[in-house]
Amino acid sequence: MKNSNSSKSRILIGATLLIILLSISFSCTKSSTNNTPTGSKGGSTPGANEVWIQSMVFDPLTITVNTGTTITWTNKDVYGHTVTSDTGVFDSGIIDASGTFSYTFNTAGTFPYHCKVESTMTGTVIVKLPSLGY
Ligand SMILES: [Cu+2]
Give the model's confidence band at 63: pLDDT under 50 very low, under 70 low, under 90 confident, else very high.
Answer: very high
Query: What is the Å distance from ligand 1's center to 80 Cα?
Result: 7
Query: What is the Å distance from ligand 1's center to 83 Cα?
Result: 8
Query: What is the Å distance from ligand 1's center to 21 Cα?
Result: 53
As a whole number of angstroms, the distance between CA 58 and CA 98 comes to 14
Amino acid (one-letter) located at 61: L
Query: What is the Å distance from ligand 1's center to 107 Cα?
Result: 25
pLDDT (tens digit per residue) in 3-44: 555 556 665 555 544 444 444 444 434 333 344 455 655 688
pLDDT (tens digit per residue) in 67-119: 999 999 999 999 999 999 999 999 999 999 999 999 999 999 999 999 999 98
Query: What is the Å distance from ligand 1's center to 54 Cα?
Result: 9
Sheet arrangement for strand 50-54: 57-59, 50-54, 69-75, 100-105
Query: What is the Å distance from ligand 1's center to 57 Cα?
Result: 8
As a whole number of angstroms, the distance between CA 73 and CA 105 comes to 13
Residue 50 belongs to what H/E stretch?
A: strand 50-54
Give the model's confidence band at 132: pLDDT under 50 very low, under 70 low, under 90 confident, else very high.
Answer: confident
What are the Cα distances from residue 33, in Å, to 21, 44, 85, 103? Answer: 19, 17, 38, 30
Query: What is the Å distance from ligand 1's center to 118 Cα?
Result: 5
Query: What is the Å distance from ligand 1's center to 81 Cα?
Result: 4
User: Does the global pTM surpass 0.75?
Assistant: no
Contact 69, 106 (CB under 8 A): no
